[in-house]
Amino acid sequence: MKTEKKTKKRLLLGFYFVLAVLLVSGVYAYWFALKPIRKEIKVEYSIADPSFKQSLDGLLGFAFVGGNRITTLVNGDEIFPDMLEAIRGAQKSITLETYIWSDSEIGREFKKALSERAQAGVNVYVIVDGMGSIRLKQTEINLMRDAGIRFYKFNRRKWYSVNLQINHRTHRKIMIVDGKIGFIGGSCIHDSWLGDAETEDQWRDTHYRIEGPSITQMQGIFAENWRQTTGEILHGPDFFPRIQPSGNLLVQCYMSGPKDRQEIVRVSFLYSMSAAKKNIRIAHSYFFPDELTRVTLYEALKRGVEIEVIVPGKLDSKTVKAASRVHWADLMDAGVKFYEYGPAMYHVKKIIVDDELVIAGSANFDSRSFRINDEANFNVMDRQFAAEQIVIFEKDKAQCRQMSAAELRKRSVFVKAFDRIAGLFSSQF
């Protein structure tokens, strides 16, 4: 009995400790954050109007650049072989920034490929989030450094270091090879992303290989965090070469973070949805529609815009799932169609507007990505590319079941209460 009481007491103390950390983190984030976007964006023109593109150039601080080609990589079976092939072909430089890197099968493959290129004289620079790399052994990091890789952890040097900004994470997933080939999306370096999302253990995700002049923007995003992490400026033709056109796509790569144009990703989302005239397709692993987002979607529905949302049936956190669905039923009542993906953990981060604009990258549809994390996204204005993404969206939807407001409202009082409490801390998830 005494042992049971001690166990319960420890669990209770642990719960209070976690609760206190979340509260302190929330107060800290609110206190030091810039004023959030509060007013609805009124847009009379469509995304096809030149004013939309011109405004987005100015609002995001990164202009659309022509002459690009994009290859869509679906799931680990396509993502990792393409990335590793690019690494093995590197001649000048490899810059990589990611959130999770674990001591795993795919982690060791990346370590080997990067180490070989570093030993061959290629400049290999790596930034990994301090929390996201907690499962990467120091011995593995030392081996990479011994091979010549300049490997740094973002915002976490030692486990015992005092850091008031520990809640500031890099959630970016970008890799640039020779300053000409870029990879961006939602996939990290961990075995959960292996395979083709055929089982619950294999995550469903999308990454993109971009070639063309927009890679200079992506390299600039990496260079900014490299400067913040090391105090060193990256420059010269090894990192910023002259890039010839590789295709005909208009692409805009941009960053967001508490130190780098906070809420810029949210600007991109809200402005694009406010300009929608026909349809909005949202495929997001963490879909937290705040009040302004809900108003924006309600107004779009009034304009006759069809809105579809794919969300995960399985999520890596029950608390996050609970917090995200608090307002879904109201949106369903208004006409938004929700689809729950079943086969695997759904980690896609993509929005398609009016069959023309595609928004993708590392950012989730939540407050943490908008205001706390460092993120990297890209926008594409092209009907053919959008059509390719719609095909993938529809394939995912075919593996979903449509959700209803009635089923959400049938949840028990206890579950609804838990959802509401979890929602209070949604800015930290």
Annotated catalytic residues are: 171, 173, 178, 347, 349, 354
CA separation, residue 79 to residues 194, 206, 315, 393 (Å):
9, 8, 21, 18
Place of tokens 């959802």: 419
The alpha carbon of residue 61 and the mean position of all alpha carbons in its chain are separated, in whole angstroms, by: 19
Residue 43 and residue 271: Cα distance in Å, rounded?
8
Closest Cα partner for 215 from 195, 243, 257, 190?
243
Closest Cα partner for 94 from 72, 127, 67, 65?
127
Residue 135 and residue 190: Cα distance in Å, rounded?
10
Strand, helix or coil at 151?
A: strand
Strand, helix or coil at 308?
A: strand
Q: Is 118 left (phi over 0), alpha (psi -120 to 50) or beta?
A: alpha
A 10 A CB-CB count for 61 gives 12
Closest Cα partner for 257 from 357, 370, 102, 415?
370
**CA-angle at 32, arms to 363 and 188, nearest 5°:** 25
